[in-house]
Every structure is written in C-alpha cells, then in structure tokens.
C-alpha cells in the first residue's frame, strides 16, 4: 500500500501545472494521495491538460543507408541533415525564426567541424541566422540526448520551440582513436574495461548471462522480418523524408542523380541457417557476428518540440508528450545491459510500471544485449521494436535516438488511443580503434526517454 501511495504522489506532480504549485498547495488541494482499489499496476489517466507540457509535434528521418556502399556514400553530412530540418518547417508550416535552438546529436566528426556543418545545414533548410545551432555527443544516444536537452530547455522557460536532431555519416567519418592512451589506465580494471572493443562487451554479455548463438541469430532474423514487413506496408513513409542526392561510380567517377527514400540494409530473406554460417567477429569461439550486430550506417533525423500551449495555438497535432528522462551508468565490461537498468528508472520516475508501457524502442546494438534486456525485464516481445531495429534498419550513432523517437511516435499514432505510453532506450558505446592498441573506447552510460499521447 505504501508503494501505491508513493506512486500516486508522483502522478499528482504530473497532474498539477508545476512541482512548485504541487508543493505549495499539497495540504489544501482537492488532489491527494490515498489507497486506490484499482491496484498498483494500472496506468494513470490525465484528467487535465496543461499548457506547460513539453510535446512533440513532428519527427522525421532520412532513410538509413549502409556506410561506404549504400545510398548516401557520396552525400555530404550537411546535405543529410538539411532535408529533415526543412521537412520540419514545411510539414508544420512553422515560422523558422520562432525556433529557440537546434541541438544536433553527433559522434564521430571533429566537434568544431560538425558544428559548422550543422549550421550550414540549418541555412540550407531555410533557418535564419538568428536561430542558434549546437551539437551534443553522448555516443550512441546523442540524438536522444539532443531531444532531452531541448525538452529540458523548454521546460525551464529558455524558449518555447526547439529541435532535437541527429546526424552521422559513418562513411565520411570512420571510427578511429586520435592520439595516445594514458598509461595510467593499466592501474584500474574499470578504466581498462572502458577500452574493451564493443564487440567484446557483447561477448561478455552473452557469456555471463547465457545468451546463445541461436537466440542471437533468431533475434536478428526477426529484426529483418519486421523491418521488411514495415517497409512493404508503407509504415516508414510517414517518418522518412526522401533525399535527392547522387551516387558516384568509383571506377569512372560518373555521377548518377538519385532520390533515397528506403532503408537499404534490410534483408527480407535472412534466415537463421544463413546467419549460422557466419564466423564470430570479435572472439574465436564467440557468438557475435556481422549478422547479429547493428549495421554501420549514414543518416539524419529531427524532432520538433514545443510547449503544449504553443502547439494548441498553432493547431499542430501532438504526437507525444515528453514525460521523463534517465541516464544510468553500468559496468563498461557489459555495457550492453544498460537498457535493463535505465528503463525501470525512467518508468518509475513517471509513476508507471513496466506493464503500463505499450511500446518499446530498444536499440539493437548487438543481439546479445537486446535479448538479455528483453529477458531480464520480462518484456512482451510483441511490444518491442515492432517494426524492426538496428540490426536491420541500421545504427548511425548520433542519429539512432532521433530515429527511434520518430519510429515510436508514428507507430503510436497509427495505433490510436489504446497506445498511450512508449519508451526509447539504448546502451551507449562507440568503437574507436587506437592506431597502436588492439582495443577500443567505450563510454558506458544509458539514456532513456518516455513519451505518451
């Protein structure tokens, strides 16, 4: 019963216009925590609409294409970001001068260079010079962090409208370690584990928690199957912005104009038997292969957020309400378990329980960690990555967070009122290969968002 009352206290803070209002009127408000016959697992119902909610009114992405050999191999990074930023303006009739900030999640490019490319993209998209742009790097959740940063700024009153975006060209900016590694790392095991190859952390998860090769390959097959079905049925058309670009013949140098509007890494006919023929990549007798890992990709995405009162005034449809965010650190040796830790933290902070969540988008960095997190949290497979995940669609590091938000919210919109709560989560790590060392750098943190209509 104490748990139920504590949960109601959290919910009441959501139902009141502000936390300060809740605290000052707690004693005389008609809203109060009490024992509830509905039990402790029923999702709460919002009975009031408050203008200071942070809402998402648009979320778009490019198609995701295979690095170095896909549809965007000859496309400049700024030409990837510009189309999704332009789509935000055109599809919502937004006055671009009203945007308070554009925050772009990105990982691999040199910081100052990528910041300049993002500003250039904003100009190409039609934003005036008065609209600022900055980048944020939280490794694989950078696009997610960009959305969280914008939501926090709107909630704080810094501005009323902002864009959280993501950009990555893994063709243009390959993964590499620059400079030397501090020898001090040898003095601490946890620090050494930060330099483990991300594939080895996948092997560690599989070994420590008993995730079999069969389970991993089956998860990859399911990812491709669902992504192929979503593509064939046109589900991704609402979130993908076509990009007019070019393909250059590497032998002749001839340029061919193309328009890219479909993810090109999805293999509809992938089978467990086919994947079973692939050799492990990171460990001689391991289980992690190219077939049950996320794809290295190029792409971009953008999410438009604003105060609810502004969205209502502009007559814009609300795709989702930004409700909470959580980042949790885990052992870098098994960084892939992160979502199993961060999802409960985010759900609890929203006053919900896991059973209340209707849809999950959990990034499939590796099948080993994806399978583990699903089993650990005892999640219904019918609720997770219903349109496929990174093993099929791709994982452009700085984009994935924004891509997952777009995929989640458009699916929630299709499902209607019965689909109320959604969660986005991922483990965080990026492979950087030091020139003289056979290991990589991992930043093992976890980020989650939770949205609901």
Q: Which of 395, 410, 449, 452 is catalytic?
A: 395
Are 380 and 442 a contacting pair, CB within 8 Å?
no
By 3-state DSSP, what share of the chain in percent is helix, strand and coil, each rounded to 5?
40, 20, 40
The single-letter DSSP state of residue 387 is: T
395 in catalytic set: yes
State the Cα angle at 431 between 74 and 120, rounded to 5°: 40
- Catalytic status, residue 427: yes
Q: What are phi and psi of 165, to 5 degrees?
A: -130, 175
SS3 169: strand
Exposed / middle / buried, residue 220 (Cβ in 10 Å: 0-12, 13-18, 19+):
buried
The DSSP bridge partners found for residue 55 are: 306, 321
Which tokens is 415 given?
Answer: 């499902």
404 is catalytic: no
Q: Read off the tokens for 444.
A: 């093992």
| Residue closest to 289 by CA, chosen among 306, 308, 274 | 274
Which residue is associated with the tokens 């909470």?
A: 324
Of 194, 373, 404, 427, the active-site residue reads 427
Name residue 450's beta-bridge partners: 324, 423
Catalytic annotation, pick one of 14, 65, 118, 140: 140
Q: How far is CA 156 from CA 15, 24, 303, in A?
A: 18, 19, 18
Q: Are 236 and 404 in contact (CB under 8 A)?
A: no
So which residues are the catalytic ones?
140, 395, 427
């Amino acid at each position: 019963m104490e748990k139920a009352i504590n949960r109601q206290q959290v919910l009441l803070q959501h139902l009141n216009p502000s936390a300060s209002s809740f605290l000052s009127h707690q004693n005389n408000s008609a809203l109060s925590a009490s024992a509830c016959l509905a039990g402790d697992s029923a999702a709460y119902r919002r009975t009031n609409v408050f203008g200071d909610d942070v809402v998402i009114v648009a979320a778009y992405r490019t198609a995701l294409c295979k690095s170095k050999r896909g549809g965007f191999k000859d496309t400049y990074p700024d030409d990837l970001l510009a189309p999704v930023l332009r789509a935000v303006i055109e599809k919502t009739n937004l006055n671009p001068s009203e945007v308070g900030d554009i925050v772009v999640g990105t990982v691999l490019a040199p910081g100052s260079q990528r910041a300049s490319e993002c500003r250039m993209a904003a100009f190409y998209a039609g934003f005036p010079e008065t609209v600022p742009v900055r980048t944020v790097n939280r490794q694989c959740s950078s696009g997610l962090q960009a959305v969280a940063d914008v939501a926090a700024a709107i909630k704080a009153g810094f501005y009323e409208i902002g864009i959280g975006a993501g950009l990555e060209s893994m063709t243009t900016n390959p993964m590499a370690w620059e400079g030397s590694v501090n020898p001090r790392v040898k003095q601490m095991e946890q620090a050494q584990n930060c330099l483990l190859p991300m594939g080895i952390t996948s092997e560690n998860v599989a070994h420590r928690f008993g995730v079999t090769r069969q389970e991993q390959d089956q998860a990859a097959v399911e990812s491709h199957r669902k992504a192929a079905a979503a593509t064939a049925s046109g589900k991704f058309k609402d979130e993908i912005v076509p990009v007019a670009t070019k393909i250059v013949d590497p032998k002749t140098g001839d340029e061919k104009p193309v328009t890219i509007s479909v993810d090109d890494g999805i293999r509809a006919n992938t089978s467990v038997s086919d994947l079973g023929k692939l050799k492990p990549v990171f460990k001689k007798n391991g289980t992690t292969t190219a077939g049950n890992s996320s794809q290295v990709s190029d792409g971009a995405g953008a999410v438009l957020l604003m105060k609810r009162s502004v969205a209502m005034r502009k007559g814009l449809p609300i795709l989702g309400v930004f409700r909470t965010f959580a980042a949790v650190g885990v052992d870098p040796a098994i960084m892939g378990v992160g979502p199993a830790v961060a999802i409960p933290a985010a759900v609890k902070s929203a006053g919900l329980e896991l059973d209340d969540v209707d849809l999950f988008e959990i990034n499939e960095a590796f099948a080993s960690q994806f399978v583990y997190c699903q089993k650990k949290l005892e999640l219904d497979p019918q609720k997770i990555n219903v349109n496929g995940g990174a093993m099929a669609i791709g994982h452009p590091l700085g984009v994935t967070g924004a891509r997952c938000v777009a995929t989640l919210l458009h699916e929630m919109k299709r499902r209607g009122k019965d689909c109320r709560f959604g969660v986005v989560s991922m483990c965080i790590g990026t492979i950087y290969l030091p020139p003289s060392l056979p290991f990589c750098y991992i930043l093992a943190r976890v980020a989650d968002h939770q949205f609901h209509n």
